[in-house]
Amino acid sequence: MRISGLATGMDTEQIIKDMMKAHRIPLEKVTQKKQYTEWQLDDYRSVNRDLYARYNNLFDTIMKQSTFNVKKMNISNEDAVGIRALNATSEFSGTIAVKSLATQATLHGESFFNPDKKLIIGEKEVTAEEFSKAKFSELNLGTGTIKITAPNQKAVDIEITGDSTIDSVLKEINEKAGVSAFFDSGTGKIAMSAKNTGLGTISISGDADMLSKLKLSNTESKAGTDAVFTFNGLETTRSSNTFTINGFEINLKQPTTAPVTFSSAPDTDKVVESVVKFVDDYNKLIEDLNKKIREPKYRDFQPLSDEQKKDMKEKEIELWEEKAKSGTLRNDPSISNMLTSLRSVMSSSVQVGPDPNDKMSLHNLGISTSINFKDNGKLIIDETKLREAITEDPNKVYQLFNRKPTDDKNPIDGGIAVQYRKVVGDTRKSIEQKAGSGDVVNDTFVLGRSLKSMEKQIERFEDRLKMTEDRYWRQFTAMEKAIQRANAQSANMMNMFGGQ
C-alpha cells in the first residue's frame, strides 16, 4: 500500500516522479537511439526499393536489343501491304505484288426453316434463339456422333446426346475442331469457317441419320486458298496473309495492280528517346543519393519522447522531427562507393566491334559529364550528335550499352548498362546486409541486431526503473508511517498532561 503525504503533507507522488527523471535519462537515450535507427532502417530500405526498380528497368529498356532495332517503314501503298519490324537487326527493302489473298475454307448445311420459313418445335413456332437452346430430345433429333475435319487439323468426334443443344454442339465444335461454327438466324443454317486460312476443305462425316437431322448431309463447301504474291521478283505462297521475313511481319491486305515498294530505316526518334530516358534516370538517381549522403545531421534535435510531444503543437513536432530524421544516411560508404563506381562506368570505353581497337564511349554519343561540381557528375546530352551516332550505326550504340562481358561476375569489359546494373546489384546486396528487407528477421542483418539489442536493453532499464520506483515508494511510505506513529504518541502525551 502506498501512502502519499498524509502525515507530512508532502506531494510524495511528484517528488518520486521528479527523482525518477534522473534515472530515466539513460533509458530515454536508448529509446531515442532506437527510434533513430528505425528511421535509418526505413531510409535504407527506401533507397533499396528505388535501386531495385532501376535495376529491373534497365533490363526492360536500354538493355533490350529491340530498343535499338526499332524500324520505321516507308510503304508506297499501305492499304495493300502492312510491314512492321519485330526482331529485325538489318534493313529491309524491295517490292511486293499481291496476286490473291489467303482465304478460309467454309461450309454450310441446309436450312431448318419449314416452307413457310419458320422454326417449329412440335407444332409450336419458336424463335431462332429458342430453337438453338432446345434439347435434341425436344427437337426429335436423336443421338449419335459426327466427325469434323478442318484443314491441317486432326479429325474430331463430337458426341451428341438427348441433352445436347445446337448451341452446346457448336460450342464443342468451336473448342475442338479448328473451325468457327454458328447457327445463322437469318437462314436457319449451321455454318462453319476454318479458323486459319490456307489450302484445304472442311469435311463432315459420321452417323448418316444424325447428319441428316442436323441438315448436314448435303453441304455447300468452299476450299481455302493460299496467298499468292511476288516478293522481290520471286512468286511464292503463304497459308496466311500475315507472316514474317527476316524479322519483319508482313500483312497482305488486298490484291495489287502494281508492285508495292517498301524500305526500312532506323527509327532514330525512338532510340534517342530511350537513351535520353536512361540519362535522365541516371541523373535523378545520383541527384537523390547525393542529397542523402550530404544531408546535414542535427545532433541537437533528438527524437521526441511521448512526454515531450504533449507540450508541443503538431506543427512544432513536424518541424522538429524533420530535423531529427535528417542525415540518417550521411556519408554512407555503400552509397558513396556506388556513386564513385557509377561515375567510372559512365566514363569507360567499350569494345563495340570485332576489332579490339573499335571502341566507343558515351562521349562518342554526345554525352558528357557536367563541369559544374554542384551537379556531382550528372550527364549532359548533345542530341544532335546522339542522333548522328544512332543513324550511322545503331548496333554499335547497342553494343556500347550492352556488350556481353567476358566474365558475368566481373563485367568490367561489358557494356555501360551491364556494368551499371552490376554496380546497382552489388550495392543492393550491401545495403541488405546492413538493413535487410521486408521479409527477413532482425537477426539476419546489422541494424536488425542493433534494434534487438536495444529492445532488450530497454526492457532491462524499465525493470530496473520499476524496482527503483517501488523502493522509493516503500521508503516514503515507511517515513509516513513513522511520522504518523510519532504524531500519535505526541497526541497521547498531550492528552495525558492536559488531563492532569
CA distance 386 to 403: 19
pLDDT of residue 400: 95
Residues 315 and 390 in one domain: yes
Confidence of residue 7 (pLDDT cuts 50, 70, 90): low
Same domain, 403 and 304: yes
Arithmetic mean of pLDDT, 211-238: 95
Q: What is the pLDDT of residues 368-386, one digit of tens each?
A: 999 998 899 999 999 999 9
Same domain, 246 and 303: no
Cβ-based neighbours of 462, under 8 Å, separated by 6 or more: 27
Is the confidence at residue 87, as pLDDT, over 90? no
Of 222, 247, 279, the last residue of a domain is: 222
Q: What is the pLDDT of residues 272-284, one digit of tens each?
A: 999 999 999 999 9
* Distance separating alpha carbons of residues 48 and 286, to the nearest angstrom: 14
In the chain, the number of structural domains is 3
The residue to which cell 490473291 is assigned: 100
Mean pLDDT of the 328-343 span: 95
For residues 363 and 276, membership in a common domain is answered with yes
18 vs 76 pLDDT, higher one:
76
Q: Residue 492, class by beta-carbon neighbours within 10 Å (0-12 exposed, 13-18 middle, 19+ buried)?
A: exposed
Residues 46 and 78 in one domain: no
Residue 115 and residue 231 share a domain = no
Confidence of residue 70 (pLDDT cuts 50, 70, 90): confident
Q: Is residue 198 part of a domain?
A: yes
**What sign for the dihedral angle of Cα 206, 208, 209, 215?**
positive
Pairing type for strands 234-238 and 227-231 reads antiparallel
Same domain, residue pair 77 and 43: no
| pLDDT given at position 416 | 95
- What percent of the chain is modeled with pLDDT above 70? 97
The packing angle between helices 268-294 and 333-346, to 10°, is 150
Higher pLDDT, 17 or 428: 428
Sign of CA dihedral 157, 161, 163, 164: positive
The helix (H) or strand (E) run that includes residue 367 is: strand 367-369
In a domain, 204, yes or no: yes
Q: Answer yes or no: are the C-beta atoms of 174 and 247 closer than 8 Å.
A: no
**459, pLDDT greater than 90:** no
405 part of a folded domain: yes
From 189, 207, 222, the end of a domain falls on 222
For 289-326, what is each residue's pLDDT tens digit? 999 999 999 999 999 888 788 888 999 999 999 999 99
pLDDT at 458: 86
Full domain range(s) for residue 192: 104-222
Q: What is the mean pLDDT of residues 17-33?
A: 81
DSSP summary character for residue 101 = -
Q: Is residue 457 part of a domain?
A: no
Mean pLDDT (the chain, rounded): 90
Phi/psi at 178 (5° precision): 75, 20
Residue 32 has pLDDT above 90, yes or no: no
Q: What is the pTM of this model?
A: 0.68
The predicted structure's pLDDT at residue 477: 79
State residue 5's pLDDT score.
Answer: 56
Please tell me whether residues 141 and 158 are part of one structural domain: yes
DSSP run (H or E) holding 397:
helix 394-402
Neighbours of 179 (CB within 10 A): 25
Residue 297 lies in a domain: yes
Element (H, E) at 448: helix 446-499
- Assess if residue 371 is contained within a domain: yes
Based on the fold, state whether residues 173 and 233 are members of the same structural domain. Answer: no
**Residue 411: all three cell numbers together:** 563485367
Helix (H) or strand (E) holding 252: strand 248-252
CA distance 295 to 466: 39
Residue 480 has pLDDT above 90, yes or no: no
Is residue 238 very low, low, confident or very high in pLDDT (cuts 50, 70, 90)? Answer: very high
Using the 3D structure, point to which of 187, 222, 257 is the last residue of a domain: 222
176/297 same-domain check: no
Least confident span in 57-66, 123-132, 224-233, 375-384? 57-66
Q: Which of 123, 145, 143 lies closest to 135, judged by CA?
A: 143
The DSSP bridge partners found for residue 81 are 252
Structure confidence at residue 69 (pLDDT): 80
Kindly state whether residue 172 falls inside one of the protein's structural domains: yes
Within-domain flag for 341: yes
pLDDT of residue 2: 54
* pLDDT score recorded for residue 451: 87
Distance between CA atoms of 233 and 492, rounded to whole angstroms? 134
318 in the same domain as 259: no
pLDDT-derived band at 445 (thresholds 50, 70, 90) equals confident
Distance in angstroms (rounded) separating the CA atoms of residues 18 and 37: 29
The 3-state DSSP class for residue 155 equals: coil
Say if residue 251 is in the same domain as residue 213. Answer: no
Angstrom CA distances, 226 to 100, 198, 239, 412, 425, stand at 8, 4, 5, 53, 52
Contact 18, 435 (CB under 8 A): no
Question: Rounded to a whole number, what is the largest CA-CA distance in the chain?
Answer: 146
List pLDDT tens digits, range 398-419: 999 999 998 888 888 999 999 9
Average pLDDT over residues 349-358: 91
How many Å apart are CA 98 and CA 252, to the nearest integer?
A: 7
